[in-house]
Structure 1
């Protein structure tokens, strides 16, 4: 169903769906993704192009809210087209779709630095695209959530813009002030012996900014991170974080003893948890089912951090879709640890940090620039 047709639907139907442009050199992918988008009543395809040049030329006319952008295309690739699209439409949301090669992972992370909102790993073959339930679910969820967030920030109205953000987060209304919507508990009086971080959509950008602030202060604690990312991407993320923090960072390895001053990133496709082995704390990688539709997931990591470190835990929940991490935040808070959640205004999506805030177990809800300063102060032994 076209966007124009939907605007004339009967009362109660979506009258202003999120407008989506699909840019991919494969006619099969464009057709399949276009059908998925048009089957969702909150979304509508307004343009479909085979390369970046055509997308750039058409973006003002078709006026999309969200662009799904392939990386490898003839004439003009996605990375070249991205800044040109954002220059023409500053509030445009771009979701990069790329296959799981190291080169494409590098390009996708570069795209995030250039202003893309998020990425979706694409199956390597057209047949994989047509049969992948996970790819379809993740793509539609991200387009919907990011499109709604962009409309909310720009003040645009419409049924789709006003709808709550999926999956199922208790999100304050635009008129509500976040600090009035949840309870804040006191920080632990114990100096942290670990820093645990969970993030998703918008997380790579937030993590790099955070580690640029706290790198010099984290010499006395290990740092463990679960960022929702596929394999290959997490290894490259760790390399980027090492540069930002000036500290060694890598994917966690099964059986590895964690030590102060190092950053351990949960590898894509595995859950990373912690366990005691004598006097040491070691990493365990598990291949169990996804948690909160995610693998790796934040909740399993936070749960084991709470069990081992208790009130000597400092955790941070950064921008991301969904509610992953909320159960772990509750366990950390009940064990006497401290949790900081990113605020709504500076989050790309206030799903995970919003869910964490609403547990009543956070000690602060702060803008991203303030989180780094607060964490550094706490890690260096200062009073919160």
Structure 2
């Protein structure tokens, strides 16, 4: 098999050297070039045609985000961002994922050399995943739309917000979402179409510490429902979404008539912390037939077995279809496990679930 050809773009000579060393130690990849800024990288990409780029978030001469936006419009290719563990780094990284970056690596502010060496497995895994990911061109703005607005022919095109009156179902049901690579944007597209009286939503998105609070705040400003990072022991309420904090497992427990969020440290499950498996197992155990499961884009099999447990306990479960996934791994594994009743394009998931909830509740609930 040919090796994955990588270009490293970073203004730090140390980081360029370390990433080149890490990549070249892998039998299935090679670093074919390293650029100190995007202008040099532009020529390197044109001449070398790499399979994957690693891109620093903040660089001289041209900001990494500006470069990424131009790249995804003119020559879309897999990009793994290299971010710093800072408030600014988190904000810029989320913008990069919105623009089409496949994933990111969070480098420490101090001890960069040791930190990157400790992250070498994570870095190379993300490069491998990126090399196989589905790339969606960043479209020019539509009339009245924002840069990057998806077009109607795009399988990831965003559906209109669902208008609904769900009544008592909002307090009875809980929606559980699991996602990994590509999931920050996929989860956003589901949440922004939920009505204000949606059932509670509990989410595990594979993400490291330091990024989930910014991610939740970003979503909160876009959605009709309230979105926040989950806090241990808090009540899970309709019209709210709760995101697992990076580096912590999230599950659900019952206390009397109330559902509570349980945020706990622990060993990684399926190599992940937070793990979708942990969240979905609690859904099967505690919520049973009142749970709704959604498996979104991501690499690997985290959550597939637990989603089957959800279905066996009476939950209704759907998976994102291959055409709209960045990486089809997690949905594919859930389907293979017999965990899924429906496989849907991303832009159809919310509307389908709301229709399903109304239909199963009987004629009292209707669209408004």
Partner-residue secondary structure (3-state), 1:264: strand
Contact 1:208 1:240 in 2 (8 A): no
- 1:259-309, CA deviations, whole angstroms, 9 ceiling, x for partnerless residues? 111111111111011112222111111111111111111111111111111
2:95 paired residue among 96, 110, 115: 110
Contact 2:295 2:318 in 1 (8 A): yes
Residue 35 of structure 2 corresponds to 49
Residue 52 of structure 2 corresponds to 66
CA distance in structure 1 between the aligned counterparts of 2:216 and 2:357, rounded to whole angstroms: 21
CA distance in structure 2 between the aligned counterparts of 1:308 and 1:145, rounded to whole angstroms: 34
How far 1:33 moved relative to its partner? Answer: 1.2
Q: Say which is worse superposed, 258-267 or 367-376, in terms of deviation.
A: 367-376
Partner-residue secondary structure (3-state), 1:201: coil
How far 1:128 moved relative to its partner? Answer: 3.2
Partner-residue secondary structure (3-state), 1:376: helix
1:199 aligns to 2:185 (yes or no): no
**Aligned residues: CA RMSD:** 2.2
Partner-residue secondary structure (3-state), 1:245: coil
Partner-residue secondary structure (3-state), 2:11: coil
- 1:88-130, CA deviations, whole angstroms, 9 ceiling, x for partnerless residues? 423x111111011111111011111222122121222323334
Contact 1:52 1:80 in 2 (8 A): no
2:308 paired residue among 313, 330, 335: 330
- What does 1:1-384 correspond to in 2, within 5 Å? 14=1, 16-90=2-76, 92-125=77-110, 126-132=112-118, 135-150=119-134, 193-216=173-196, 219-381=197-359
CA distance in structure 2 between the aligned counterparts of 1:113 and 1:150, rounded to whole angstroms: 15
Partner-residue secondary structure (3-state), 2:109: coil
Contact 1:22 1:49 in 2 (8 A): yes
Partner-residue secondary structure (3-state), 2:195: helix
Contact 1:268 1:295 in 2 (8 A): yes
How far 1:371 moved relative to its partner? Answer: 1.1
Structure 2: gaps spanning 5 or more residues: 138-168, 363-368
Residue 156 of structure 2 corresponds to none
Residue 145 of structure 2 corresponds to none
Contact 1:59 1:85 in 2 (8 A): no
Residue 167 of structure 1 corresponds to none
How far 1:376 moved relative to its partner? Answer: 2.4
Contact 1:222 1:258 in 2 (8 A): yes
Contact 1:249 1:262 in 2 (8 A): yes
Q: How many residues align?
A: 329
Partner-residue secondary structure (3-state), 1:321: coil
Contact 1:199 1:228 in 2 (8 A): yes
How far 1:339 moved relative to its partner? Answer: 0.9
How far 1:49 moved relative to its partner? Answer: 0.8
Q: TM-score, normalised by structure 1?
A: 0.81
How far 1:148 moved relative to its partner? Answer: 2.4
Partner-residue secondary structure (3-state), 2:5: strand
How far 1:382 moved relative to its partner? Answer: 5.7
- 1:312-369, CA deviations, whole angstroms, 9 ceiling, x for partnerless residues? 1101010011111112101101111111011111110111111111111211111111
Contact 1:193 1:220 in 2 (8 A): no
CA distance in structure 1 between the aligned counterparts of 2:113 and 2:189, rounded to whole angstroms: 38
Contact 1:19 1:64 in 2 (8 A): yes
CA distance in structure 1 between the aligned counterparts of 2:293 and 2:340, rounded to whole angstroms: 9
CA distance in structure 1 between the aligned counterparts of 2:308 and 2:251, rounded to whole angstroms: 17
